Amino acid sequence: MAHYRLEVKAIKRSDGRSAVAASAYRAAGKLFDKRLEMVFDYTDKGGVAFTGIMAPAAAPGELQNRERLWNAAEAADKRADSRTAREILVSLPHELSDDQRHGLVRAFIAESLVGKGMIADYGIHYPDAHGDERNHHAHILVTTRRVGPEGFGFKAREWDNPDAVKALRLEWEQIQNLHLRQHLGQEAPQVTSRSLNDQGLDQEPTIHLGPAASGMERRGEASDRGDINRRVQTRNAERQTRPVQVRELEDQMAAGRPRQAYPIDAVIREFEAIHQTMVRERDSWARAQARVTAPIEVPTARSVVSEVMGEALSRRAAAARRLDWTQNRIEQGRARRQTLVRWVRNPVRMIWAAHAEMNAVDRARAADRRAEVDLKVRQEWLRSEAGRVYLASRLDPPRQAAADARREARTLERKIKRADRRIEAVARTRVKLLVARELGHDGIVAPTRMDLGVGQAVREVDRRAVDVVKAHAPVAQERALSKVMALVQGKVPGIGPDR
């Protein structure tokens, strides 16, 4: 069965990593890193099926050289904590041949990476000699900057958005499924980028072992990650067998109960009532899901800080503007008075004006200092323990509410999917009862008490209805089924011509 995997990781200098070293390892090559002045030689690594570099048509030709490409990418970033590359790790379908997997990877890179202005350096690896023989995979190193005729340009900031990774995962799903169908036919296995929860599967995902844990497990040594996966697999197996065990127990409890014949019309009406009740319940869950999935406004730390500091910042800016305006007005007034004879000849008025001007400037400066002190006090308070507590009190409740809403929405989604399956089962059994009535049966045997739940009731009546219908010739069954389907088609959810 084809396996889906796509992970995106950043090559960060803050982690002590180098894009040149990452490329050398994934291509099993030897490259010189100019920034670190080191040679990275992995030519003895082996296990690499194909390597290649794909770039936009406008990219300089020299960037087709692996060493020049990644040294140029490192040189384009000056900061000590820069992200100089991104690695995309994808699992490749073992059902395809080596050349077909190579074509799949190049098609994905051309459409989803190079088509967006990025350069991609890929290495397709064989499965590890001591690992799962189906583990064909590819490492794709992608530049973080777009490239043009002059070389590297601005950062591609859309990669910082989680939605970009989701879109990339969907693109990998679609192109992989397309190639699987092209090479293996329309019945080829398909993959999905959706999580187990999004697929409506009541299972826990396992975690990635990584090279260290994988090596320990291959040597027969238990690892912490391996133990976690074994516990998850045990719980998933229990989840799969538990419903079967419950059904078997219900059927065993019902087997010893007395039975009697009921009018088939009464049973059909009972199943119609069950169907309507389940549909109403499912619809109520759908309405609840719509309510909890409504977006919850979650403040950011920046918005809370702006709220605390906003008024003080405004007052500080206004006070600074007032001081500048006062000083400019006084300078202009002094210049005009020097040209007026009646002011020059009146020293008392000149002294009074000077005092008035000094007072005005002092008031403006005092207001500016008060605003500056108020701003600093607020800044220090935000850095204090009390400020951090206040910030957490503003941020945590909305985030918790959003997380609770997401959990509730997922729970409701699972309930809705289970309800849809039960509704379809009830609808199918109702159709079988209608077919039995059409064949001339006016009664059906069932337990006198049906208190073990809808699932047990459906299974019990369904088996009886099937036995009744099978007693007739196939031609009569087909004729009765066609007549019933003509009546119920479009009226009962989940029932169509292929049922």
Cβ atoms of 141 and 23 within 8 Å: the answer is yes
pLDDT of residue 300: 80
pLDDT of residue 496: 42
Task: Tell me which of 73-87, 135-149, 437-451 is least confident.
Answer: 437-451
440 backbone φψ class: left, alpha, beta (φ>0; ψ -120 to 50): left
How confident is the model over 255-279, as a mean pLDDT?
82
Does the structure show a pLDDT above 50 at 66?
Answer: yes
pLDDT of residue 254: 60
pLDDT of residue 162: 74
pLDDT of residue 247: 63
pLDDT of residue 115: 86
Task: Tell me which of 63-72, 239-248, 408-417, 421-430 is least confident.
Answer: 239-248
Does the structure show a pLDDT above 70 at 175?
Answer: yes
Q: Are strands 120-125 and 30-33 parallel, antiparallel or unpaired?
A: unpaired
**459 or 467, greater pLDDT:** 467
Instruction: Report the C-alpha gap between 476 and 113 in whole angstroms.
Output: 60
According to CATH, the topology of domain 6-184 is BirA Bifunctional Protein; domain 2 (3.30.930)
* Residue position matching structure tokens 């199943």: 271
How confident is the model over 314-331, as a mean pLDDT?
89
pLDDT of residue 195: 60
pLDDT of residue 349: 66
pLDDT of residue 132: 67
- Among 45-49, 107-111, 113-117, 404-408, which range has the highest average pLDDT? 107-111
Does the structure show a pLDDT above 50 at 472?
Answer: yes
pLDDT of residue 492: 46
- The pTM score is 0.51
Relative orientation angle of helices 19-27 and 66-75, to the nearest 10 degrees:
160
Q: Strand runs (DSSP E) across 180-282, as ranges?
A: 259-263
pLDDT of residue 144: 87
**Where does the pLDDT of residue 151 fall: very low under 50, low under 70, confident under 90, or very high at 90 and above?**
confident
Cβ atoms of 64 and 55 within 8 Å: the answer is yes
Instruction: Report the C-alpha gap between 142 and 168 in whole angstroms.
Output: 13
In this structure, what DSSP letter does residue 157 have? G
**234 or 139, greater pLDDT:** 139
Nearby residues of 2 by Cβ (< 8 Å), 6 or more positions away: 93, 94, 95, 176, 180, 188, 189, 190, 191
How confident is the model over 232-242, as a mean pLDDT?
76
Q: Domain spans of the chain?
A: 6-184, 301-400
Does the structure show a pLDDT above 90 at 338?
Answer: no
Cβ atoms of 258 and 447 within 8 Å: the answer is yes
How confident is the model over 308-333, as a mean pLDDT?
88
How confident is the model over 252-277, as a mean pLDDT?
80
Q: How much of the chain exceeds pLDDT 90, in percent?
A: 18
Task: Tell me which of 82-86, 237-241, 300-304, 365-369 is least confident.
Answer: 237-241
How confident is the model over 19-23, as a mean pLDDT?
92
